[in-house]
Amino acid sequence: MSTTLNIDHRADTQIPSSCGSGCGCASAAKPQAPIPPHGRVSVNGVEIEAGAIAREIQHHAAPDGDTAWKAAAQALVVRELMLQAAHSAGLSVHPERDEAGRAETAEEAMIRTLLDQALAPPKAGEPECRRYYDANLHRFRTADLIEASHILFEPASDDAEGWREAEAKARAIAEEIGDDPTVFAAAAREFSSCPTAQQDGSLGQVRRGDLVAEIQRALEALPESTTSRIPIRSRFGWHVLRHQRTITGRVLPFEMVAGKIADMLEARAWTMNTAAYILRLAEGAKIEGVALEAPGVE
C-alpha cells in the first residue's frame, strides 16, 4: 500500500514589531462549500463514523468541501492509528492540565504518552541555530520605518464638487507650506480633519502595510524631509504628506533570536519525527477510504 501523511505543524521565527497608524483593514472567512458523499473509512477494521468526520471538518479550512472532508478524515485516521498503538502498548496514562487549566481527555493523554515514549525529544544546539541564523538573516531584520505626517482634507460632501473643493484646498496648502516642518505642523493643527491634527499631523513611525496602499506608495516615493506638492486621494479624503525621515531596519543579533530559532528547529524536527513514526504505523495497518499524504516541511 502506498501511504502518505499530512501533518501541518509549522513554526517559524517572528520578528518583534510595533503597529503603526493604519487606515484600516478587513478580512472575511470564506463560506465552506457543501461536502459531497464519501465511502467508508476505517483503520484495521475500526470504522471512522461519517458523523465524526463531519464534526472534524470545522477544524480544517479548505477551498472546497471535498478537500475539507479529506483533511478531516486523514486527521481522524491518524488519531485512530495512534490510539490503537497506545492500546497495544498497554500504556498507563495520567491526564495533565495545560497552562489555561484545561484537563486532557484520556485519549489525548494516551496520544501524548505514546509520542513521548516513541520519539526522542529533539534538541537544537547553538551550532545548528547559528547555521540557520547565518543562512536566513533576512528573517531576522526589523522592518524599515518611515516617520510620517499628513494633513487630511475631508470633502464637505461626497459628490464630485465636494471632492474637487477638498482637493483645491489641499493643493493650495501644499504649495504654501513647502518643506518647512514648523509651517507643516501649524497647518496640520489648523486645517487637518484627522485626530492626528492634535499631534501636528504626525502618523508616527509607520512600516509597509500600516497605511492604505496609495498613501504608503506616495510616502515611499517622497524624499526625506520633504512635503508632497501633489495631494494624494484615499477613501478618507485628500492628504498632504510629509516624509520626515526613514529609519532603516537592522538585523537582530543572534543572541536576541537564538531561543526562538531553537524552538522553531525543535518544532520542525518534532513534526518530521512524528510524521515518520505515523508512516511506520500506517505501513503496518489496513487503512480504507482515504490515503494519508506526506508533509512538506519548509
* 159 and 230 together in one domain: yes
* 112 and 152 together in one domain: no
Three-state SS at 100: coil
* 118 and 181 together in one domain: no
Structural domain containing residue 114? 41-95+103-133+253-288
* 128 and 222 together in one domain: no
Structural domain contains residue 5: no
* 200 and 230 together in one domain: yes
The set of residues, in sequence order, having a beta carbon less than 8 Å from that of 98 and lying 6+ positions away, is 104
Residue 87: predicted pLDDT: 94
Establish how many alpha carbons lie within 13 A of residue 60's alpha carbon, considering only the half-sphere containing its beta carbon.
23
* 157 and 199 together in one domain: yes
CATH code at 162? Answer: 3.10.50.40
Of 164, 141, 142, the residue nearest 153 (C-alpha): 164
- As for how many domains the chain has, the answer is 2
* 88 and 153 together in one domain: no
Separation of alpha carbons 214 and 170, rounded Å: 16
Structural domain contains residue 191: yes
* 128 and 156 together in one domain: no
* 194 and 270 together in one domain: no
Structural domain contains residue 125: yes
Helix (H) or strand (E) holding 86: helix 65-89
Three-state SS at 199: helix
pTM over 0.75: no
Structural domain contains residue 195: yes
Measured in degrees and rounded to the nearest 5, phi and psi for residue 43 equal -130, 115
Structural domain contains residue 20: no
Three cell numbers at 263? 524552538
Per-residue pLDDT of the chain (298 residues; tens, 9 = 90+): 434 444 443 334 333 333 344 443 334 444 444 555 578 999 999 999 999 999 999 999 999 989 999 999 999 999 999 999 999 999 888 889 888 889 999 999 999 999 999 998 889 999 999 999 999 999 999 999 999 999 999 999 999 999 999 999 999 999 999 999 999 999 999 999 999 999 999 999 999 889 999 999 999 999 999 999 999 999 999 999 999 999 999 999 999 999 999 999 999 999 999 999 999 999 999 999 998 865 544 4
Separation of alpha carbons 112 and 108, rounded Å: 6
Structural domain contains residue 266: yes
Structural domain contains residue 122: yes
* 128 and 149 together in one domain: no
* 194 and 284 together in one domain: no
Q: Which residues pair with 49 in a beta bridge?
A: none
Separation of alpha carbons 142 and 140, rounded Å: 7
Measured in degrees and rounded to the nearest 5, phi and psi for residue 268 equal -65, -45
Structural domain contains residue 23: no
